[in-house]
Amino acid sequence: MNHQLKTKLVSMLEVVYPSLDCDFLSDQLLSTMGLSPDQAPPPAHQNNWDESDIVLITYADSVQKDGQKPLVTLHQFLEDCLSETVSCVHILPFFPFSSDDGFAVMDYLAVNESHGNWEDVEAIASDFKLMADLVINHMSSRSRWFDNFKKRVDPGKDYFFEGNPRDDLSAVVRPRTSPLLTAVQTEDGERHVWCTFSEDQVDLNFANPKVLIEFAGIIREYLERGVIIFRLDAVAFLWKEPGTPSIHLQQTHELIKILRLLIEHHSPDAVIITETNVPNRENLTYFGNANEAHVIYNFSLPPLLINTLVTGDCRHLKTWLMSMPPAQMGTTYLNFIASHDGVGMRPTDGLLSEDEKQRLINTMDSFGGKVSYRRTADGRDQPYEINIALYDALKGTVESGADHWQLQRFICAHTVMLALEGIPAFYIHSLLGTENDLERVENTGRLRSINRSQWQIDTLEETLDNPLSHHSKVFHELKRLIAIRRKQPAFHPNATQFTLHLGLQVFGFWRQSMRRDQSVFCIHNISNEVQQIALSDINLIGTEHWVDLISGMTIDDLSGSITLKPYQSVWLTNRN
């Protein structure tokens, strides 16, 4: 019998666990996932997405209604307002938790009772592709596993990574300023557990293969509950070794390959997305050779695009875009400008100078933003992320401060994102134009709360029905642009992309469908001044009929020019 799956799995496991019986371990993993050793592989380089795919990122309780479970309210909002707009819903951790708005999970296999139940989750999964977080790096210090760790019993006794305060840990890369090791009293004395993010988020020990088997069981449960897209949270930190940076280690990459192998053999249409908020070159490594993540977050896009629009200069965005490799078939990018976290600054390393970073930080501070820090190996605190609502991040420019172009600048940012190679993802508070929630920051004491507002559904519906509200203007214009995008083959996430050179105030790129039957020239005025662009600089083909998908404007004279108002975008296509 051909045991192709098992043979491949064993070879991967031997990289991670060279001293263990990997043949036996592979049998345990396959049994846990309900797979046979000769399970047929999925088609190679298969794209489980197309131009119609749009992701919504939301907390389970971002939209609420008195007397109703938030997951039910969210489903109602999705059905009533977004059923023709988004194809995929990423519900941020909806499990019982002790801190970090869900990312300190207490029980991976339960739904937070205050949000709803598994039936509510499955109902959303029946209408939309469901993305869920696999919070794989760490677990709550109030979980049953960690209680068992302190009691020195299974399951949990050896599930958490321990460190020695005498070890040299100076090389460890972390996104926080809190101590790395936390002292814990256990039944057999004091132990020091590794906490990459906080003392309430204790890192799991994947050197113990029982932890991997546990997560195989968790993954299978999620698949059977309707989850089809897995976001591997903070996965870059998964494997730790004192004396190393303990980020991006080879064992981490191999574990991602193992998880992908198991997931895609169980469900060939399932997708893995890695969440690695790191410099661009490091981020790209998570594609592997099209055998790790199907999709990676385009973490450099948010800070670069915001910087472009507040400076009126696209040179850095253009340089970055030209350096980005086209994703292989079966892989692509997840494009986003805002998320539940802040605007990461590490992804700008090597892309913006230190002075440019500081100027961006100062500008965001003037627009009501906050800054979170991380501690470097030499003990310095460096800016890690800017905490700000995207609508307020784009309220003005570096030179002039707040101005009257906020709405247009905000729409321009999303028009750029919608057209780029990859899958667009909208954070719910960007889709709604939500502003800085400083009251929530004060109440929680956490800077990230600035962009984690909660809407009462009645208030939200009333606001969206008010044509004078900027929330309504944002929501309806973004829905209109999304509807246009979803019909264009040239906007397939893997369609060809080339950068155009139209000066520093105009950012442009060209997309061509994989069948080469549609071209779209995406041209954006990223400044607060009118821009004139000669059509000869765009190289439109004279035998084609050209129209702007956004405005309906037709191009009759290719020897002429087009005029773009401040922050205006055009999508010029030869097919409508």
* pLDDT reading at 541 higher than 90: no
| Amino acid of residue 292 | E
Handedness of CA 483, 485, 489, 495 (dihedral sign): negative
* pLDDT reading at 377 higher than 80: no
- pLDDT for 407-423, tens place per residue? 999 999 999 999 999 99
| pLDDT value of position 206 | 98
| pLDDT value of position 205 | 98
- pLDDT for 101-148, tens place per residue? 999 999 999 999 999 999 999 999 999 999 999 999 999 999 999 999
Closest residue by Cα to residue 468 from 433, 500, 495, 492? 433
* pLDDT reading at 378 higher than 80: no
| pLDDT value of position 39 | 87
* pLDDT reading at 576 higher than 70: no
Answer yes or no: is 220 a known binding residue: no
Work out the average pLDDT over 248-276: 97
Burial class (CB in 10 A: 0-12, 13-18, 19+), 373: middle
Answer yes or no: is 80 a known binding residue: no
Please state, rounded to an integer, the average pLDDT across all residues of the chain: 96
Work out the average pLDDT over 365-370: 97
| pLDDT value of position 86 | 98
Dist. CA 449–CA 558, nearest whole Å:
50
Which pair of tokens denotes residue 553? Answer: 């404007």
Binning pLDDT at 50, 70 and 90, where does residue 2 land? low
* pLDDT reading at 255 higher than 60: yes
| pLDDT value of position 550 | 98
* pLDDT reading at 224 higher than 70: yes
* pLDDT reading at 1 higher than 60: no
* pLDDT reading at 77 higher than 90: yes
Answer yes or no: is 269 a known binding residue: no
- Given 133, 233, 437, 548, the catalytic residue: 233
Answer yes or no: is 340 a known binding residue: yes
* Cβ–Cβ under 8 Å, residues 473 and 539: no
* Cβ–Cβ under 8 Å, residues 492 and 51: yes
Work out the average pLDDT over 492-506: 97
Answer yes or no: is 448 a known binding residue: yes
| pLDDT value of position 87 | 98
Dist. CA 388–CA 394, nearest whole Å:
10
| Residue spans per domain, the chain | 496-573
Tell me 328's DSSP state. Answer: P
Tell me how crowded residue 379 is: count the other CB atoms within 10 A of its CB: 8
Binning pLDDT at 50, 70 and 90, where does residue 286 land? very high
Closest residue by Cα to residue 274 from 231, 308, 327, 240? 231
* pLDDT reading at 186 higher than 80: yes
Work out the average pLDDT over 276-286: 95
Closest residue by Cα to residue 393 from 346, 349, 434, 452? 434
Catalytic residue check, 233: yes
Backbone angles phi, psi at 136, to 5 degrees: -95, -20
Answer yes or no: is 127 a known binding residue: no
First to last CA, the chain: 53
Work out the average pLDDT over 558-568: 94
Answer yes or no: is 233 a known binding residue: yes
| pLDDT value of position 558 | 86
Considering the four listed CATH numbers 2.60.120.620, 2.60.120.10, 3.40.630.10, 2.60.40.1180, the one that applies to the domain covering 496-573 is: 2.60.40.1180
Residue with tokens 């596993």: 145
* Helix segments in 87-234, DSSP class H: 118-127, 144-151, 209-224
Answer yes or no: is 152 a known binding residue: no
